[in-house]
Structure 1
Amino acid sequence: MPTDAYALAERYIASWNETDTLRRRNLIEDVYNEHARYTDPMVDAKGWEAIDATVAAVQNMFPGHRFTLAGDVDAHHDTLRFQWHLAAPGAEEPLVIGFDVASLQDGRIRQVFGFLDKVPQMA
């Protein structure tokens, strides 16, 4: 499971970085179950379409920024947890730091619980 868990987390992060709408949607359908749910303090998205819209909205909010895994992916049973960073290319510090816990079903994400550890101050 650990190697598979890391690969799934990498594809998950790739879906948040993909700006081509068709490729992003294909990644989302590959990573998530059709009726998956993504929740964090600002959104509760259910299903591929809502998750795709959420990713697009984040990309519009932070144009040019990239998500990266920040450390190892921890996994047991059908659950993953990992930290991620969102930063502009070449930035010394991430703008946003988050921590996600994902439950799996049949090798794909069924639900994500997202937590935001560092968020920018909005004017």
Structure 2
Amino acid sequence: MSAQTDRRTDRYQDAVTRYFEAWNAREPETLAKAVAEAWASQGGYIDPLAEVRGHEGITAVITAAQARFPGFAFRLTGTVDGHHDTARFSWELVSEAGGTPGAGPAPAAGSDVITLDAENRIVSVLGFLDRVPAGA
């Protein structure tokens, strides 16, 4: 693998790392900062349950998810795959307490596709939910 390929791969991995830092930030100031570092100012987020644009909208969606699943965190599953300005990855929601291995599937899981700008900030997220709890 060439050094240029490594840099491109790091670009996607770094963006996804910032994405999860935002989704797992609990304090309002930390969350606002993490969203601003991960997303472009008019970046968007869309999945079957939400469609928002801008840092305030994204922060509101993350805050609502955290309220719905207290004590859980979002975690990358598998590897990040990307090309050009687009990356895809899968995630699951896991107990922050560590949970019990084999205790059952995560309450929510999915796959997201992100598009990045020239500064490697997220311009858009297109989320797919593979598993959601009843009533979500």
Same fold by TM-score greater than 0.5:
yes
* 1:66 alignment partner AA: A
Distance across 2 between alignment mates of 1:22 and 1:86 = 22
1:113 counterpart residue number: 126
With the length of structure 2 as denominator, give the TM-score of the two structures. 0.86
Identity %: 36
Deviates more, 1:87-96 or 1:43-52: 87-96
* 1:122 alignment partner AA: G
Are positions 1:6 and 2:13 aligned together?
yes
Measure how far apart 1:30 and its partner are.
0.7
Measure how far apart 1:122 and its partner are.
3.1
1:101 counterpart residue number: 113
Q: In structure 1, list runs of 5 or more residues that go unmatched.
A: none
Measure how far apart 1:76 and its partner are.
0.1
Q: Deviations over 1:31-71 (max 9, x none)?
A: 10000110000000110000001100000000010100001
Q: In structure 2, list runs of 5 or more residues that go unmatched.
A: 1-7
Are positions 1:83 and 2:90 aligned together?
yes
How large is the Cα RMSD of the aligned pairs? 1.3
Q: Which has the larger radius of gyration?
A: 2
* 1:64 alignment partner AA: G
Measure how far apart 1:94 and its partner are.
1.4
Query: Paired residue for 1:65, among 54, 57, 72?
Result: 72
* 2:76 alignment partner AA: L
